[in-house]
Each structure stands twice: as structure tokens, then as C-alpha cells.
Amino acid sequence: MKLLVFTKETLLFFIAIGVMLASISAWFMLKAGDVAVFNQPASKNVPEFHMVTAEFKTKMKNGKEIEVYRWNPGTIVINHGEKVKLYISGINGGDHPFYIEGTDIKGIVKKGEETVVPLQINKPGTYQLVCEAHADRQHNGPMIAYIVVN
């Protein structure tokens, strides 16, 4: 009889400890979740992409210089319908007036300045970001980047 009582008390003790540990870990998990969700400002949820205008130059055997302007990185990948921000810094070259094929988006990137392009493309596909000043090889291009929309 005494042994039985002792066993019951021990069992109750361990159940009590178990409930306490479960509550404490649940509290910590919920607290960690809260921190992850609520400490992030809303603007941080918009993915950001950073691009620059770059230039490659080389000298031919005959002494002639050739060059090309590029968007760098040359490809970004986004999800359809997702709002993202594309920041383009003008480094090499002067003015880079641009448009994004298949959209109404156009603008200009100037040396020493940053242009912010809010993007939201609903239809999946590959969209070309084209610099009108350097669109092809004849105009020191092709200065074309590819926006892959999944």
C-alpha cells in the first residue's frame, strides 16, 4: 500500500514536471516566433535587388579600343505578382535611359546617382531591361539585363 502511494506521488511529480517543461518550451517557441514576425519592419518584406552600370574596355592588337556597357548583375530572378525593388547605381558611363520590354516601365540611370525601380510583373517570362543609349554592339552594348519572372 505504501509502495503504491509512493508510485502515484512520483508519477504525479513527473507529470507536473513534464507539463511545466512543455509550457516553458511552448512559451519560448511562441516568443521566438513573435520576435521573428514583429521585429521586421514592413518595408523589409519587399525583396531588394541592387544593380550597377559597368563598363568593360580592351585594346585590340591594332591599338584600337573597344568597350561595352553592362548592367551588373545581368540577370535577376523574381516571382510573378511579387513586389520587389530594383536599385540601380550609375557608375560607368553618363546617362543610361532604359525601358523594360513588355511593361510600361522606363527611366534613366545617371552617373553617381541611384534610380529606384519598383517592380511587380504578373505574367511569368523573361523581360529585357534595355539601355536605349547602348542597346547593341554598334552603340557600345548590348546593355541588356534579363528579369526572369517565375
With contacts defined by CB under 5 A, name the span among 37-45, 57-65, 92-100, 120-128 that binds Cu ion.
Answer: 92-100
User: Of 127, 129, 130, 134, which lies in the binding site for Cu ion, with binding defined by CB under 5 A?
Assistant: 134
| 133 part of the interface to Cu ion, by CB under 5 A | yes
Q: Which of 28, 31, 50 is nearest to 39 (CA)?
A: 31
- Shortest distance (Å) from residue 139 CB to Cu ion: 8
Strand arrangement of the beta sheet that strand 48-59 belongs to: 65-72, 48-59, 84-89, 114-119
- Shortest distance (Å) from residue 112 CB to Cu ion: 15
Per-residue cell: 88? 540601380
Per-residue cell: 16? 507536473
Per-residue cell: 34? 513573435
With contacts defined by CB under 5 A, name the span among 6-14, 31-39, 116-124, 129-137 that binds Cu ion.
Answer: 129-137
